[in-house]
């Protein structure tokens, strides 16, 4: 079958793509920016990629006519706390318009479980998208999932942050809300199982794991699996806003995502039936098994995708191409260079920067900067990095976003997503004469930006000087 995969560079899309190829399907990936599609060369050669923004105006002949089926994996929940529902509705309507030009037979939509009349804004939006898609000229199959647990999923990473960092938690009442977590592996089984399965056409199915748990029980189980104990005490005084701040400061989530998650966590998310499980013969995994499988992937450095690499995890919600040209005028720079003896080893050091490796000099100062960034509403350092030795364009890297990762030409360009009175770039490149250049560029916004830069000069002198020396000599 020829399949259109929307949201192909998202958390679910990146997991689904290799499975579809293994099943022998021809895949057309729809992304907004080809340059930040983090896939290997072998996969790249096996697919077609089209650049399309479903929030933009319709463009005729953008999608191949001979599409047989499509996966609709477009979500905007974390890009805003106010109008994400409007954006999701626009995307769905635009998608339907594009599908009118194709021979498509089936669309598969991954939604959220909706079993409460008083839905959160997030779940109301998912249900509204479902209703819009049902108006398309194709058979719709809707899979409604609750909490998805897997390496790199937002749910898993938030639980991980909370349990690993807080031996004692004073929690809001929503930790007593019931939910039905499902392993990412099982989500993939359902997504691939319904493809072309006519008994699932024009129907909606709840999918969940074998257990109904409270968020508190999920936290406690995680701790037991990891071999430690935690204390959890629930208080009734935490408002949704306070709960959001609690999640934001303790975990790596953005405040916008925290607000929308807290809004949803007040609602019970429990599957109504297991019709699809019986129809497809899928044996789902327990929550404990899902946690263990996630850590198995992490320990083997086999994490395929992470929600943190999504643009919505940071401050850039526009096209990366708008930032990739480093300005030359009206900027302040700190440029350092050093001769190197082993460019390949130095390049490997550059490609390992950030995350657990750190920044090669004065890591405690980088952590302090991340702490203050978090206090001021920024992303902080907690996002880390998805892979220990690979970097792709579009990845998050602590409080930076990767604008360009060109290992062949020995160049890495980062853009700051921390809170700043201006814009900042950090570039590493190795030239043919074996010289390592490290350039920090800052475009200030007004006098406040210039004061910030000059106040940081003493720190820059030590931090950037020590960093380039250690990268070159480690």
Q: Identify the pLDDT of residue 84.
A: 72
Contact 221, 288 (CB under 8 A): yes
Sign of the torsion angle spanned by Cα atoms 460, 463, 464, 466:
positive
Cβ-based neighbours of 275, under 8 Å, separated by 6 or more:
205
Check whether 311 has a pLDDT greater than 50. no
Contact 144, 112 (CB under 8 A): yes
pLDDT digits (tens, 9 = 90+) for 385-420: 877 778 888 888 888 888 888 999 999 999 998 889
Q: How many CB atoms lie within 10 A of CB 371?
A: 14
Residue 314 banded pLDDT, cuts 50, 70, 90: very low
Nearest by Cα to 312 from 358, 260, 239, 390: 260
Among 11-15, 208-212, 437-441, where is mean pLDDT lowest?
A: 11-15
**Beta strand ranges found along 131-271 (DSSP E):** 139-145, 148-149, 168-171, 178-179, 182-183, 203-207, 213-214, 231-234
Instruction: Name the residue with higher pLDDT: 54 or 117.
Output: 54
pLDDT digits (tens, 9 = 90+) for 229-273: 889 888 876 666 676 777 777 776 766 666 666 666 667 888 888
Among 37-51, 109-123, 280-294, 300-314, where is mean pLDDT lowest?
A: 300-314
Q: Identify the pLDDT of residue 323.
A: 62
pLDDT digits (tens, 9 = 90+) for 271-307: 888 899 999 999 999 999 999 988 887 666 555 555 5
Q: Identify the pLDDT of residue 131.
A: 92
Q: Identify the pLDDT of residue 79.
A: 47
Compute the residue count for the chain.
Answer: 474
Residues 95-101, mean pLDDT to the nearest whole number: 93
Q: Identify the pLDDT of residue 109.
A: 96
Q: Identify the pLDDT of residue 239.
A: 67
Residues 202-207, mean pLDDT to the nearest whole number: 94
Long-range CB pairs of 341-344 (<8 Å, 24+ gap) are 341/434, 343/410, 343/430, 343/434, 343/436
Which H helix or E strand runs over 396? Answer: strand 396-397
Please state, in angstroms and rounded to a whole number, the distance separating the CA atoms of residues 140 and 130. 9
Contact 434, 440 (CB under 8 A): no
Q: Identify the pLDDT of residue 317.
A: 47
The alpha carbon of residue 95 and the mean position of all alpha carbons in its chain are separated, in whole angstroms, by 22
Using only the alpha carbons of the chain, give its radius of gyration.
23
Residues 190-212, mean pLDDT to the nearest whole number: 95
* Average pLDDT taken over every residue of the chain: 85
Contact 463, 361 (CB under 8 A): yes
């Amino acid at each position: 079958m020829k399949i259109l995969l929307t949201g192909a560079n998202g958390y679910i899309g990146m997991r689904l793509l290799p499975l579809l190829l293994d099943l022998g399907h021809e895949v057309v990936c729809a992304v907004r920016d080809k340059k930040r599609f983090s896939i290997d060369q072998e996969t790249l050669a096996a697919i077609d990629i089209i650049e399309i923004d479903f929030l933009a105006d319709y463009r005729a002949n953008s999608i191949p006519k001979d599409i047989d089926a499509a996966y609709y994996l477009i979500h905007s929940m974390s890009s805003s706390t106010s109008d994400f529902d409007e954006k999701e509705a626009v995307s769905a309507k635009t998608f339907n318009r594009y599908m009118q030009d194709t021979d498509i037979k089936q669309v598969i939509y991954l939604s959220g479980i909706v079993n409460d009349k008083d839905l959160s804004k997030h779940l109301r939006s998912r249900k509204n998208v479902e209703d819009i898609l049902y108006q398309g000229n194709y058979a719709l199959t809707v899979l409604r999932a609750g909490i998805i647990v897997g390496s790199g999923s937002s749910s898993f990473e938030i639980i991980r942050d909370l349990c690993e960092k807080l031996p004692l938690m004073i929690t809001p009442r929503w930790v007593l809300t019931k939910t039905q977590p499902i392993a990412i592996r099982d989500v993939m089984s359902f997504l691939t199982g319904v493809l072309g399965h006519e008994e699932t056409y024009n129907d909606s199915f709840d999918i969940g794991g074998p257990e109904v748990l409270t968020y508190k029980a999920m936290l406690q189980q995680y701790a037991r699996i990891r071999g430690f104990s935690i204390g959890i005490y629930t208080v009734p005084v935490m408002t949704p806003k306070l709960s959001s701040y609690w999640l934001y400061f303790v975990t790596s989530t953005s405040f916008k995502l925290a607000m929308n998650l807290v809004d949803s966590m007040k609602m019970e998310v429990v599957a109504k039936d297991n019709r699809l499980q019986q129809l497809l013969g899928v044996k789902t995994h327990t929550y404990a098994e899902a946690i263990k499988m996630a850590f198995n992937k992490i320990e083997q450095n086999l994490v395929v995708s992470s929600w943190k690499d999504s643009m919505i995890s940071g401050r850039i919600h526009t096209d990366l191409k708008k930032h990739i040209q480093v300005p030359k005028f009206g900027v302040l720079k700190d440029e350092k260079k050093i001769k190197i003896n082993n460019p390949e080893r130095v390049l490997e050091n550059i490609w390992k920067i950030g995350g657990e490796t750190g920044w090669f000099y004065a890591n405690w100062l980088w952590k302090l900067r991340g702490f203050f960034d978090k206090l001021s509403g920024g992303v902080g350092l907690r996002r880390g990095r998805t892979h220990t030795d690979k970097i792709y364009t579009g990845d998050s890297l602590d409080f930076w976003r990767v604008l360009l990762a060109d290992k062949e030409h020995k160049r890495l360009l980062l853009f700051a997503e921390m809170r700043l009175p201006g814009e900042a770039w950090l570039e590493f490149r190795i030239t043919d004469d074996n010289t390592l250049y490290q350039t920090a560029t800052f475009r200030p916004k007004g006098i406040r930006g210039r004061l910030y830069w000059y106040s940081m000069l003493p720190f820059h002198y030590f931090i950037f000087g020590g960093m380039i020396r250690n990268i070159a000599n480690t």
